Amino acid sequence: MLILFILLPLGFLFEIFAVLPSEHEFLSKGWNVRVAVLALLGLNAFAAVQKVISVGPNGGCSDLPAIQKLGYRFCNNCQLNEPPRSHHLCNKCAFRRDHHCSFVAVCIGHFNQRYYINAVCNFWIIATCAFRRDHHCSFVAVCIGHFNQRYYINAICNFWIIATVCMLWNWSFMWTALGGFSPLQIWELIVPHLALLLRVINFKQFFCVAVFVCSFTVFIFLCYLIVAQCFCLFRGQTRVEYLLVNNINKLN
């Protein structure tokens, strides 16, 4: 919750008020257009996050049948029969549970996964634009299941877009501070603390490198979330099912 609702918005404010004005004057047409687009993506991402939480993996309905149905299994925790591909977490059985998202404290499943992916993709694009100017899910701390998986996917896509944009901005911002791109300076990105100690770069340049590294880390993490979701959707599996099958194959 702290990362999603406090640190990410603060990082976005830093990007538009500190990084972006170095190329586009504050309140100029170029600045306004870029901020407006990213703000809309951010609002879309957080709207998707809200849907991930409110819809949940079971679509707001967690009632399970007391009688045995074909394909259903008995849940020892709920003391009721759970549908196929369901898994118990967060004190209930999540319908087609994918994973638990700790960042928003909710499970990702069938009904909110689309919003999760949407949000991540939007944040990914914003993070990438900071690169060059011009399933327990830990982000939401909730299980992803059948009813909220669509919202989860929606949220991921939105976050991915935002992350991509911010990373592209930070890439240019960093090299401007370092005096221009040079292959000989790559080591300064790998061990910036050493470059600072050797006085090859000053503290301002070190800070610019740190900002880029943070945005790049967010970008890579969102890429992983998107690829993981697409991979499992292509296979017709949830993250839980894929991991269970993998573990069984290793034991065999």
200 burial type by CB count under 10 A (0-12 exposed, 13-18 middle, 19+ buried): middle
How many residues are present in the chain? Answer: 252
Residue-level pLDDT at 241: 74
pTM score: 0.54
Q: What is the C-alpha separation between 160 and 118, in angstroms, rounded?
A: 8
Structural domain containing residue 220: 2-61+113-136+147-251
Which band of pLDDT confidence, cut at 50, 70 and 90, is reported for residue 64? Answer: low
Let me know if residue 89 belongs to a domain.
Answer: no
pLDDT tens digits for range 214-240: 878 878 887 887 788 788 778 777 777
From the list 149, 156, 157, the residue with the least C-alpha distance to 97 is 149
Residue 150 has a pLDDT of 63
pLDDT at 135: 45
Q: Report which DSSP code applies to 200.
A: S
Whether residue 87 lies inside any domain: the answer is no
Has residue 238 been placed in a domain? yes
Unique residue bearing structure tokens 């634009």: 129
Whether the per-residue pLDDT at 107 is higher than 50: the answer is: yes
Please write the tens of the pLDDT for every residue from 116-147.
777 777 776 666 654 443 344 444 545 555 55
Residue 57: predicted pLDDT: 64
84 lies in a domain?
Answer: no
Residue 121 lies in a domain: yes
Count of the separate structural domains present in the chain = 1
User: How far apart, in Å, are the Cα atoms of 96 and each of 2, 137, 144?
Assistant: 28, 15, 8
- Domain contains 69: no
| Region of poorest pLDDT, from 17-31, 94-108, 175-189 | 94-108
| 111 DSSP assignment | B
In a domain, 156, yes or no: yes
Element (H, E) at 102: strand 99-103
* β-pairing verdict for 92-94 and 99-103: unpaired
Whether 131 and 212 have beta carbons less than 8 Å apart is answered as: yes
Say if 229 falls within a structural domain: yes
